[in-house]
Amino acid sequence: MVIAAALLFGCVVLYYGAHWLVRGAVTLATALGISKTVIGLTLVAVGTSAPEIFVNVIAGSRGETGIALANVSGSNLTNLCIGFGICALVAGVVIDWRSFRTDCRMAVISTALILVVLFLNGDAGLPFWTLAPLLALLLAYLVSLRSRASEGVEEEESGVTTGQLILHGGLFLMGVAALYGGGRILLEAAIETADRVGMPSSLVGLTIVAAGTSIPDTIASLVAARQGEYGIAVGNLLGSNISNVVVVLSATLLASQTSLDTGGDTFLTLDYLLVTLVSLLFLFMAARFGKISRNGGVLLLVIYFSYMGFRIYVSL
């Protein structure tokens, strides 16, 4: 009963946190002359990725590297399938290919890098030297963001006063704090549930932990999509996936100060293979159609639940 109440409370906190974060981010984008696409890819994406960073750094410092690796693959799969799938069903997802083509490609390249390293290393997992190419990808991505910082911004007065700017900046920070706190409450309740059921640690990372830490991303994008802020909605989920690989895994490697082994889970490579394939599918939808239709949303949800059912079956 207590765990169920914690799960419900965490969801409520996450919803309001997402709402505040989106409102604050939109106002900041308008006032500072930065495109909403870039705001979604940076401020919103990093803000909603705070739970992943927290969980992975703690897991890495404690040697729970299997959970850390599975959390990233599970979070990215959740963002792609659950996040975009629900948004497509409820509010629709319009994708400006010209604005997001670099991000779609980076999402594929970053995940493919981890897939190749895991495939070559096997159970040895992710070696510490992987930090170098991850940081190189991060630097290249930051350079691309800087060049796009003013794209799509109309040359006109924003109409936002200094007081409103401070107010909405505080609203944005409150949203990040609420998302972080709600994600932590939800995460701890989910882990307690998993302990009672007796699930393997890597499976916990892939399913319960990943879902718990990805709820802020999904809710923030859903709120943005319903408000017609598609740049923020798409940018948040794409930016979060890129951040999960190049930022969260880099931080995890630094926290662990050694390689990230698989924890004996032979299916981790398969997890990253699926994330790479779904990222390619998303890239195709964005380039070919410029949106995710309801049928596309259903397809993404079916992929997620089918694979998770398979993973739970073979693991238990």
Residue 103, in any domain of the structure: yes
Q: How far apart are CA 250 and CA 132, in angstroms?
A: 9
The number of domains in the chain is 1
CATH of the domain at 231: 1.20.1420.30
Q: What is the pLDDT of residues 234-279, one digit of tens each?
A: 988 998 899 999 999 999 999 888 888 887 778 899 999 999 999 9
Burial class (CB in 10 A: 0-12, 13-18, 19+), 80: buried
Residue 59, in any domain of the structure: yes
Residue 28, in any domain of the structure: no
Q: What is the pLDDT of residues 134-150, one digit of tens each?
A: 999 999 998 888 777 65
- Mean pLDDT of all residues in 202-206: 80
- The pair of structure tokens assigned to 194 is 């998993």
pLDDT above 50: residue 156: no
Q: What is the pLDDT of residues 42-57, one digit of tens each?
A: 767 666 666 777 777 7
Residue 167, in any domain of the structure: no
Q: pTM for the whole thing?
A: 0.82
Q: What is the pLDDT of residue 210?
A: 83
Distance between start and end Cα atoms, the chain: 25
Q: What is the pLDDT of residues 172-192, one digit of tens each?
A: 788 778 877 776 776 677 667
Q: For residue 8, list its beta bridge partners.
A: none
pLDDT above 90: residue 27: no
Q: What is the pLDDT of residues 54-110, one digit of tens each?
A: 777 777 777 777 778 998 999 999 999 999 999 999 888 999 999 899 999 999 999
CB count within 10 Å of CB 170 equals 12
Residue 251, in any domain of the structure: yes
- The rounded mean pLDDT for the chain is 83
CB within 8 Å of 2: residues ≥ 6 apart: none
Which residues span the domain enclosing 219?
37-149+200-315
Q: Is the dihedral of CA 46, 173, 74, 255 positive or negative?
A: positive
Residue 50, in any domain of the structure: yes
Helix (H), strand (E) at residue 237: helix 230-243
Helices 131-147 and 249-256, packing angle to 10 deg: 140
Give the position of tokens 């079916």.
Answer: 302
